Amino acid sequence: MCAYGDVWHPMSVHDASGSVVGFLMWGIDDADGSCWLGGILVDAGQQRRGLGRAAVVQALSLLRTETGHTSFALSYRPDNVVARQLYASLGFVETGEEEDGELVARLSLG
Ligand SMILES: CC(C)(COP(=O)(O)OP(=O)(O)OC[C@H]1O[C@@H](n2cnc3c(N)ncnc32)[C@H](O)[C@@H]1OP(=O)(O)O)[C@@H](O)C(=O)NCCC(=O)NCCS
């Protein structure tokens, strides 16, 4: 999606030693101007070390600073309890919208 379209931009996630441990991508929805995060993942062997949480926090901070966007959105499968709780704990609020069977949650950093 990042290589062949012009919507999604890739980001790699590195641990403190610099090793690549994960991925996410971001893109702007022209319809409402919100900045979407997608494809968020941490290597299976590196999960539960705080990297996923840190990656989303860092991405929000970086994107806010570098793009000026303050309205963020993402989606996840309803049965993805880990993602659902992680994003909720970061302030993402489910809106009742659905995208391809996934629940949409939004965060406004004001
Ligand atoms: C979602 C994902 C990115 C989280 O990455 P991570 O590095 O494991 O996350 P963290 O270590 O920062 O943990 C975040 C929270 O989730 C909890 N958590 C992580 N994995 C868990 C598991 N398997 N079971 C229960 N809780 C879990 C942690 O305890 C933590 O909660 P806390 O901050 O209240 O202690 C990772 O699980 C993943 O890559 N999953 C597969 C892809 C996916 O589902 N992506 C999301 C799609 S939108």
In a domain, 4, yes or no: no
Which pLDDT value is given to residue 88? 98
Which pLDDT value is given to residue 87? 98
80 lines ligand 1 (CB under 6 A): yes
Residue 78's domain is classified under what CATH number? 3.40.630.30
In a domain, 1, yes or no: no
Which pLDDT value is given to residue 32? 86
In a domain, 2, yes or no: no
Distance 82 CA to ligand 1 centre (A): 5
Q: What is the mean pLDDT of each run of 10 residues along the chain (110 residues)?
A: 94 96 96 95 97 97 94 98 97 97 95
In a domain, 30, yes or no: yes
Tell me which residue range forms the domain holding 91. Answer: 9-108
DSSP states of 8-28: -EEEEEE-TTS-EEEEEEEEE
In a domain, 83, yes or no: yes
- Number of structural domains (the chain) is 1
